[in-house]
Amino acid sequence: MGVIGQGQKEVPLGKVHSIQDRLHFLELDAQAADILAHLRPSMPEILEESLSEFYARLETMPEMAKFFPNKEMMHTAQSRQLAHWQTILTGRFGPDYVQDVMRIGAVHAQRGIAPRWYIGGYALLLSGIFHKLIKREILAFYKQHKGLLGALVGPKEQEIEEAAEQLATQIATLARAALLDMDLSISIYLEKLQEEKARADEERSALEQIARAIDRVAAGDLEASLSADVSEKSPLLAKAFHNLKNGFGGIVSEIRQASGLVRESAASINKGSSSILYQSEEQVGSIRKITDATAALETSISDVAGETGAAENAVRQCVVAATRGSTNIGHVQETMVEIRAAWNTISELVDTIQNIAAQTNFLALNANVEATRAAEMGRGFSVVATAIRDLSVKTTEAARQIASCARQSETMICNGDRAVNFMMSDLKEIGSGITIVSDAISKINVEMGKQEISVKETHGEAEALRDLTEKTSNMTRSTSLDCKDLTERSDKMVGLVSNFTLS
């Protein structure tokens, strides 16, 4: 068997020293390889027993048992470890062996098995192997010299020294090979940890750069970008950052556009609200004029109703006076004084009728004017006003006739009976005219009552319309103020998003 590792390609171990350095330092040379190869045929039984005891011990340790969820996995690990020990006992520590050790160390690092458990496990396994090997060799030496001759003579001192030297050499060689294996595995484990630390440092550096870039984005700089090495070290985070920046940029653009549209809409609504507010205030003013007019009309109609009531009472008094005159006309002949008194009374009544007729005519004119202002609602009232006016004209004419008769009666006082007869005739005409006037005034009173009710209702509706319009005006004013506030907030939002610099 040649020198260990001789003629084989050197396998680099990164930061770990080469295998040749270790072999040279541990004196695992060709002689050691021959010793291991000499042990190999007799070691399977010892290895199997020692490994069985070792894995039985692992089952009692929860910290290690968790790496073997079932018996099958533990049996597989035991079989692979037995095969690995068979490789160690060949004494050939070449590329295949190094790759196998690197794989074992990498698996331990990936699974997170701490070196203390690996070293402790190796100590248990070596303890079992050494114990069984020493026991076997001593028993074999004892059995070899147990015969009769051996019992009488006993082993020579040189034989004992040679046997002890051979056993010590075997154990020492086996220990150095095992510790080499352990050294390589732990070195690979530590190298993996260093690689992980370096990778973590790189990722931390990349994270710091990404954090700084995110801070710039948060400050409004959407032109912030990541270097190529950061994207290579942390592709997922770099992709997430780019998605964040692009998404945030899109949101900012949409907010800018939406804020501008909101501002324009708010300004348009504010302008429309101002126009509506102005029109509402104008409408309120017009409705107030209507309510004032209807209030005045209501007062006028109430006054007219009072005047027509007074006229009706006066006409009734005229009827009473005419009746009394008819009763007393027979006494006219007795005294001219009484006739003159009666004539004076008639003259006063005629004046009163003329005044009433004039006032009725004036009120009819006013009523006609108010009916014209009220337009469609005053059409019925206009008809009544026209009838009142016609009636006042007739009353005036009747009053004129009464005056004429009164003058005739004055000139005919001296004619006695003839004057009395004329007076009786005139009194009858006066009675008929007064009756007509009384009926007309009664009808006027009825119609004026209806008109008064209608005007009150119109006035109430006008006031309700005025209140509603004022409420609408107040709501429009509130809407205008809200639009101004919305415009200010939109300007503020536009100002905020304007601070962002888009790429």
Q: What is the pLDDT of residues 165-219, one digit of tens each?
A: 777 777 878 878 777 777 777 777 777 777 777 777 777 777 777 777 777 666 6
Percent of the chain with pLDDT over 70: 67
Residue 50 has pLDDT above 80, yes or no: yes
Residue 3 has pLDDT above 50, yes or no: no
- Average pLDDT over all residues of the chain: 73
- Residue 162 confidence class, pLDDT cut points 50, 70, 90: confident
The larger pLDDT score, comparing residue 422 to residue 91, is at 91
Average pLDDT over every residue of 146-150: 52
Q: Distance between CA 352 and CA 358 in Å, rounded?
A: 10
- In 179-248, DSSP assigns E strands to none
**203 contact partners, CB below 8 Å, separation of at least 6:** 233, 234
Whole-number pLDDT of residue 8: 37
Q: What is the pLDDT of residues 423-463, one digit of tens each?
A: 667 767 777 777 787 777 777 777 777 777 877 777 777 77
Q: Could you say which DSSP state residue 376 is in?
A: G
Q: Distance between CA 503 and CA 499 in Å, rounded?
A: 13
Quote the tokens at residue 364: 């009819």
- Residue 419 confidence class, pLDDT cut points 50, 70, 90: low
Whole-number pLDDT of residue 500: 56
**164: helix, coil or strand?**
helix
The larger pLDDT score, comparing residue 232 to residue 14, is at 232
Whole-number pLDDT of residue 436: 80
- Residue 11 confidence class, pLDDT cut points 50, 70, 90: very low
Residue 10 has pLDDT above 50, yes or no: no
Quote the tokens at residue 384: 């009544």
Cβ atoms of residues 90 and 41 within 8 Å: no
Exposure class string for 244-272: b at 16+ Cβ within 10 A, else e: ebeebbeebeebbeebeebbeebeebbee
Cβ atoms of residues 68 and 117 within 8 Å: no
Whole-number pLDDT of residue 2: 30
Question: DSSP letters along 31-80, please?
Answer: HHHHHHHHHGGG-HHHHHHHHHHHHHHHHT-HHHHTT--SHHHHHHHHHH
**Domains by residue range for the chain, with CATH:** 19-211 (1.10.490.10), 276-489 (1.10.287.950)
Average pLDDT over every residue of 22-41: 85
Q: How far is CA 441 from the centre of its chain?
A: 74
Give the CA diameter of the chain.
214
Q: What is the pLDDT of residues 316-326, one digit of tens each?
A: 777 677 677 66
Query: Which of the residue ranges 11-15, 297-301, 376-380 has the most confident prediction, judged by mean pLDDT?
Result: 297-301
Q: Distance between CA 270 and CA 486 in Å, rounded?
A: 10
Contacts of 192-198 with C-beta under 8 Å, sequence gap 24+, read 192/105, 192/106, 192/109, 192/110, 193/109, 194/15, 196/109
Q: What is the pLDDT of residues 359-374, one digit of tens each?
A: 877 777 777 777 777 7
Q: How far is CA 96 from the centre of its chain?
A: 65
Average pLDDT over every residue of 238-258: 69
**262 contact partners, CB below 8 Å, separation of at least 6:** 486, 490, 493
Among 103-107, 332-336, 387-391, where is mean pLDDT lowest? 332-336
Q: Could you say which DSSP state residue 413 is in?
A: G
The larger pLDDT score, comparing residue 74 to residue 217, is at 74
Whole-number pLDDT of residue 280: 67
Cβ atoms of residues 50 and 132 within 8 Å: yes
Q: Distance between CA 89 and CA 202 in Å, rounded?
A: 41
Percent of the chain with pLDDT over 90: 0
Average pLDDT over every residue of 20-31: 83
Q: Distance between CA 7 and CA 404 in Å, rounded?
A: 169
Residue 330 has pLDDT above 80, yes or no: no
Whole-number pLDDT of residue 393: 78
Q: Distance between CA 359 and CA 392 in Å, rounded?
A: 8
pTM: 0.39
Whole-number pLDDT of residue 172: 77
- Residue 422 confidence class, pLDDT cut points 50, 70, 90: low
Quote the tokens at residue 503: 């790429």
Average pLDDT over every residue of 486-495: 68
